[in-house]
Structure 1
Amino acid sequence: MAGMNQFKTLALLALLSGLIVLAGYLLTGNEQGLYYGLGFAALSSFGSWYYSDRAALAAFQAQPTSREAAPELFDRIAKLSDRAGIPMPAVYLVPSESPNAFATGRDPNHAAIALTEGIINLLPADELDAVIAHELTHVRNRDTLTQAVAGTLAGSLTYLGRILTLGALYFPVSRSGRRGSNPIAILFLLVVAPLAAGLIRMAISRTREYAADAGAAEITQNPLALVRALETLEATGQKIPIHGNPAFSQMFIVNPLSREGLMTLFMTHPPTQDRIQRLKELSEQLTAGDVPTALSPSA
């Protein structure tokens, strides 16, 4: 299952990058557009790789904290990081009563975990452990980088479409001086590509959330603790929304803005009930002794 999730994520990222390359080609009608698209995708990916953690932390006014200021929290995260087999990440606190958490950083050696004041005050010890383990799994799986790249590529495609379409209408963009005023290309750049990119980005996020839930069950050996945490966070998060840039909403363990029905297409997280059902199935397997490889206790 873990390998399939990784394959799906890589395939979706490749498709997202391909949309940018296709957008460049449709704009110019020749190979020059391919180079535009490849260059823009590479530049966007590098920027998100290097700067994503700073942007995410700043978006929610997260402040670094120290072991002296929060010794119990530090010990908790250090213990779970050791179980997960990754270095201790930097710890940040978000000044919000909305109960939530996220992880960020380009790799396990440059990672940070951010917890809101609300989640620390709300959840009991075992449930807070489960939430932290979920975020540490994102770090271990490098989902923090994957999600940052996906978000940046999706956003870049939207802005690229607007900028290059205006350029195609008013300025020559190819060596031959031909204006890229193909109405189908413009429609693709302005409407189809950004919509498709957004859906792909959200599909990547949902895939990684399932994997992080399984990782939390592996680290804590207590899937039901995460079940209880998700139920609490879903109910409370709807009442106390967190304020910040919605572009980073996929990073949180629970998205308080999620809705049902047609809007599930645009959800950055899987339905909470689906996540809970999968965790309950994992709990039954643990109880029966039929432990999947991904959930076998760490050495």
Structure 2
Amino acid sequence: MTNQLRTAALLAALSGLLIAISYWVIGGSSGLIIGIGLAAVTNLFSWYQSDKIALAVYRAQPVSEREAPGLYRMVEKLSRRANIPTPRVYIVPSQTANAFATGRDPENAAVAVTEGILNILPEDELEGVIAHELTHIINRDTLTQAVAATVAGAISFLAQMVSYSLWFGGGSRNDNRGGNPLGVLLTVMLAPLAATIIQLAISRTREFSADAGSAKLTGNPRALARALQRLEATAKQIPLNTNPAFEPLLIINSISGQFLGNLFSSHPATEARVTALLKLEQKLTTKAY
């Protein structure tokens, strides 16, 4: 519940930032109304289109049970265990080892894995990864992350448009039209940074919950811990280069960026995730006796 409340607060902060930017840049009640409208439109757009966009960004291709029988049966088995509909299954044509889930709810969800992850993970570790992604679907994290990415993108786009107006037409701005010069400057400089920090914080909050859900679903926390370590090592060798806005969807950072620190990471440190999983393994073992 604590993670859910924190996620809701961060999403509210992100939407509030978009509204505030419109108010400061445009000025007065018009700016406020436009900001609320932008927040509503971006959230609605995320609700219906997020899965299609994410799958297109990663060039994911749908596969049937006949085309990928082992993978499909694994997703189907874990979905039954989780008591959710079997999501659509996709494979990403990349030798990078990674995976993600997308969709607004369990009835409209998809799980995608790269060719690379199928090549390097043994069955129990792959099962842990799939269970992690299914937990994201169960917890509606796929929608939460998509909304966060879309709103953050809208904020960055708005700031970019303001920057262009300052360079090419800023001198013609009439004070009677509203808007605050300080607000405009802060928008261009700080808004995209703040939006990114909030978006990444939302992603980090959800990863620990998905790891725990995977451990409970498979009963094998150590398998996911091994998978995360293996995936991190591979990601440093073969990064998955794509739109950074969709980085939070992946199970592990696709780009090595530890020097940026936790504030600018889309995922918690792998060491922290592994430690949490091993602690959970101890609890599950204790309950078994």
1:164 CA drift (Å): 4.6
Which one-letter code corresponds to 2:76 in the other structure?
Answer: A
Which one-letter code corresponds to 2:87 in the other structure?
Answer: P
Aligned to 1:178: 177
Which one-letter code corresponds to 1:110 in the other structure?
Answer: N
Contact kept, 8 Å, 1:158 with 1:189, in 2: the verdict is no
Count of aligned residue pairs for this structure pair: 286
In structure 1, which of residues 51, 64, 67 is the aligned counterpart of residue 65 of structure 2?
67
User: Which of structure 1's runs of 4+ aligned residues deviate more than 4 A?
Assistant: 170-173
1:255 CA drift (Å): 0.8
Deviations 1:43-100 (A, max 9, x none): 1111111111111111111100001111221111111011112110000011111111
Contact kept, 8 Å, 2:98 with 2:254, in 1: the verdict is no
TM-score of the two chains, using structure 1 as the length reference: 0.91
1:206 CA drift (Å): 0.3
Within 5 Å, which residues of 2 pair with 1:34-53?
34-53=32-51
Can you give the 5+ residue segments of structure 1 that lack an aligned partner in the other structure? 292-299
Name the CA distance, whole Å, in 1 between partners of 2:263 and 2:91.
31
Within 5 Å, which residues of 2 pair with 1:1-299?
3-164=1-162, 166=165, 169=170, 177-180=176-179, 182-289=180-287
Contact kept, 8 Å, 1:138 with 1:144, in 2: the verdict is yes
Name the CA distance, whole Å, in 2 between partners of 1:208 and 1:286.
21
Name the CA distance, whole Å, in 1 between partners of 2:152 and 2:219.
36
1:256 CA drift (Å): 2.8
Structure 2 vs 1, CA of residues 263 and 224 (structure 1 numbering), >3 Å: closer, same or farther? same
Name the CA distance, whole Å, in 2 between partners of 1:29 and 1:95.
47
Name the CA distance, whole Å, in 1 between partners of 2:247 and 2:62.
20
Name the CA distance, whole Å, in 2 between partners of 1:219 and 1:75.
16
- Of all paired residues, the percent bearing the same amino acid is 51
1:179 CA drift (Å): 4.6
Name the CA distance, whole Å, in 2 between partners of 1:252 and 1:171.
44
Name the CA distance, whole Å, in 2 between partners of 1:284 and 1:26.
52
Which one-letter code corresponds to 1:108 in the other structure?
Answer: P
Structure 2 vs 1, CA of residues 171 and 214 (structure 1 numbering), >3 Å: closer, same or farther? farther
Which one-letter code corresponds to 1:197 in the other structure?
Answer: A
Structure 2 vs 1, CA of residues 171 and 148 (structure 1 numbering), >3 Å: closer, same or farther? farther
Structure 2 vs 1, CA of residues 290 and 8 (structure 1 numbering), >3 Å: closer, same or farther? farther
TM-score of the two chains, using structure 2 as the length reference: 0.94
User: Which protein has the bigger helix share?
Assistant: 2
Aligned to 1:296: none
Which one-letter code corresponds to 1:54 in the other structure?
Answer: K
SS of the equivalent of 1:289 reads: helix
Which one-letter code corresponds to 1:178 in the other structure?
Answer: R
Name the CA distance, whole Å, in 2 between partners of 1:53 and 1:24.
28
1:162 CA drift (Å): 2.9
Name the CA distance, whole Å, in 1 between partners of 2:285 and 2:72.
30
